[in-house]
Chains A and B, each alone.
Chain A
Amino acid sequence: MSTINIEKVLDLKGLLCPIPVVKISNAIKEIEPGNVIEATATDPGVMMDIPAWCASTGNELDSMEEAGGVITFRVKRLK
């Protein structure tokens, strides 16, 4: 069973798009390939923007869940 190594945790609550994407784009450079960023956000725009950003940059959206208006997602750096 593979383990998830969360190297960075980001609080993006209250930030409007595209700022969450900007923060993830900066943070991904600061973690090792194979490791994961876990972030929480409140702007529902991230539910589209983050998967699209992952698809276009070759990173992996590991998970995305919404509960009580807070969206929690994990992005894995692939390269």
Chain B
Amino acid sequence: MDTREKVIQELDKRYNRLVGTSATNLCTHCGWCIESCHIFKATGNPEHSPVAKAEKVRRVLKRKHDWLSRLFPKWTGAKDLTESDLDEWIEAAFKNCTLCERCVINCPMGVETPQILATARGVLTAMGKSPEILNQLTDAAIAREENMEMMEGFFRKQIANLEKQVQERMNDSNARIPVSEEADILYVPLSGAHTMVPAALIFNAAKANWTMSLFEASNYGVFVADIPKAKKVVERVLKEAKKVKAKTLVVTECGHAYGVLKWEAPKWFGKQFDFEVKSLLEVMNDYIQEGKIVLDPSKNSEPVTYHDPCNIGRKGGIFEEPRNVIQASSKEYKEMTPSKVENFCCGGGSGMVACSEWTEDRLLYGTVKVEQIKKTNAKKVVTACDNCLHQIKELGEKNNLNISVSNVSEHLANALVFS
């Protein structure tokens, strides 16, 4: 089988009604999506407009799936795939699109450009052409479970150190970070301490019945659209949730991980889970509303703004909870413009932060975000996704924004009053 045949076969595997209608029927080339894209706005390059990026895949899909394009390809712009198209797909699907979906909500026809480009990501992965580091990080997550005997020792050592920090900050030697024990809440962090210590302070302060997962929430399998591997990464956590008899699985502040566990995994496994899936943002807001934690907003005295991560906000529908949490734990809150469903992507999403070969492009793609932050006059940017956190920190340093950046739980933990 030659490359072209293999690509067509891989495309067919991923062809569904959503991709099909978006690719062949809906787009009228009206151009409304162009100005909605943070990457086009940063570069001004027409090749970076959503319509142009989707077209690179659309024309190949049309050639096979649209009757008019099968008969008269020149009329519709359809074309047969060539090997050089794949290089263009890498640029369009991985480097020049963060799958933020802002173009979708600004499209009068609802064309799902990110779905078309995610389909291209999956094909490129199957062809061995997706970014190596994203595949390595996916495989490393799977290796963590396969080598759990060795890994668990490292993890428990790490947690023991962090537990001491929590006890010192709370001045309470009974404060704990239970690991994979039976509990109502299974909290799934990232591998960094900044997603563990603040959450542990909050759970301990709220006297929650909780335990920390042995695994990290992040799932690079979705960035390379390798669903079999992405399922493996999720499966580890599902098994653990069953083992600890969790009633609620709480996902840390990680945009794609929340989307995967809340929306995608039930579809992949064809069932609703026995436990509820919540974002840590929702849980923190619950604790405040229920009076389970006490806060001193004066501990966060600088003006603070919130960046809505695309996967949490636009795609996840969580807008008010982080704002409630930040406002309850700060003296002065500044809203970003635009925000919520119309917020712009920071430019670091969908794996871009890990792709060091595109660092310069990524920082350029954050131009709109830099302007948004400047206009708030905030001295601190709080967000709820690690990709956004990395990107905004780097944007701040590169553009001398003189800001600090943290996730929401760190911000809240800083304002906690321990009794």
Of the candidates A23, A43, A66, which one forms a contact with B157 in the assembled complex, judged by CB atoms under 8 Å apart?
A66
Which A residue's beta carbon lies closest to that of B150?
Answer: A51
Distance in angstroms from B177 CB to nearest chain A CB is: 12
Contact across chains for A48 and B191 when beta carbons are under 8 A apart:
yes
Distance in angstroms from B353 CB to nearest chain A CB is: 8
Distance in angstroms from B52 CB to nearest chain A CB is: 29
Starting from the known contacts A19-B354, A45-B190, 9 additional A-B residue pairs (CB-CB under 8 Å) come to A21-B136, A22-B354, A25-B133, A44-B162, A45-B158, A48-B151, A48-B191, A53-B136, A53-B137
Which B residue's beta carbon lies closest to that of A44?
Answer: B158
A33, B106: Cα distance in complex, Å: 51
Contact across chains for A26 and B141 when beta carbons are under 8 A apart:
no
Task: Scan residues 139-165 of chain B and give those whose CB is less than 8 A from a CB of chain A.
Answer: 139-144, 146-147, 150-151, 154-155, 157-158, 161-162
Which A residue's beta carbon lies closest to that of B351?
Answer: A18
A69, B193: Cα distance in complex, Å: 12
Q: How many A-B residue pairs have CB under 8 A?
A: 86
A41, B286: Cα distance in complex, Å: 35
Contact across chains for B151 and A51 when beta carbons are under 8 A apart:
yes
A51, B143: Cα distance in complex, Å: 9
A interface residues with partner B (beta carbon < 8 Å): 16-19, 21-23, 25-26, 43-49, 51-53, 55-57, 64, 66, 69
5 contacts between A and B (CB under 8 A): A22-B356, A45-B193, A53-B143, A55-B146, A57-B140
Main DSSP-derived SS at the B contact region: helix
Distance in angstroms from A11 CB to nearest chain B CB is: 16
B interface residues with partner A (beta carbon < 8 Å): 132-133, 136-137, 139-144, 146-147, 150-151, 154-155, 157-158, 161-162, 190-194, 216, 218, 353-354, 356, 386, 389-390
Closest 4 CB pairs of A and B: A45-B191, A56-B139, A56-B143, A55-B143
Contact across chains for B356 and A26 when beta carbons are under 8 A apart:
yes
Chain B residues closer than 8 Å to A55, beta-carbon distance: 140, 143, 146-147
Which A residue's beta carbon lies closest to that of B135?
Answer: A56
A49, B220: Cα distance in complex, Å: 13
Contact across chains for B144 and A52 when beta carbons are under 8 A apart:
yes
Contact across chains for A19 and B390 when beta carbons are under 8 A apart:
yes
A39, B255: Cα distance in complex, Å: 29
Of the candidates B147, B161, B193, which one forms a contact with A52 in the assembled complex, judged by CB atoms under 8 Å apart?
B147
A21, B151: Cα distance in complex, Å: 16
Contact across chains for B139 and A16 when beta carbons are under 8 A apart:
no
Chain A residues closer than 8 Å to B194, beta-carbon distance: 16, 43
Contact across chains for B142 and A56 when beta carbons are under 8 A apart:
yes
Residue of A52, A56, A57 with highest tally of chain B CB at under 10 A: A52
Given A16-B386, A55-B146, A66-B157, A22 contacting B133 (CB threshold 8 A): yes
Contact across chains for A44 and B147 when beta carbons are under 8 A apart:
no
A15, B286: Cα distance in complex, Å: 31
Distance in angstroms from A14 CB to nearest chain B CB is: 10
Which A residue's beta carbon lies closest to that of B147?
Answer: A55
Contact across chains for A47 and B155 when beta carbons are under 8 A apart:
yes
Distance in angstroms from B408 CB to nearest chain A CB is: 16
A22, B134: Cα distance in complex, Å: 9
Which B residue's beta carbon lies closest to that of A43?
Answer: B192
A45, B146: Cα distance in complex, Å: 18
Contact across chains for B136 and A57 when beta carbons are under 8 A apart:
yes
Chain B residues closer than 8 Å to A43, beta-carbon distance: 191-194
Distance in angstroms from A30 CB to nearest chain B CB is: 13
Chain B residues closer than 8 Å to A57, beta-carbon distance: 136, 139-140
A52, B192: Cα distance in complex, Å: 14
Contact across chains for A52 and B140 when beta carbons are under 8 A apart:
yes
Contact across chains for B140 and A21 when beta carbons are under 8 A apart:
yes
Contact across chains for A52 and B151 when beta carbons are under 8 A apart:
yes
Contact across chains for A64 and B154 when beta carbons are under 8 A apart:
yes
Given A22-B356, A52-B141, A56-B142, A44 contacting B133 (CB threshold 8 A): no
Which B residue's beta carbon lies closest to that of A61?
Answer: B150
Chain B residues closer than 8 Å to A46, beta-carbon distance: 191
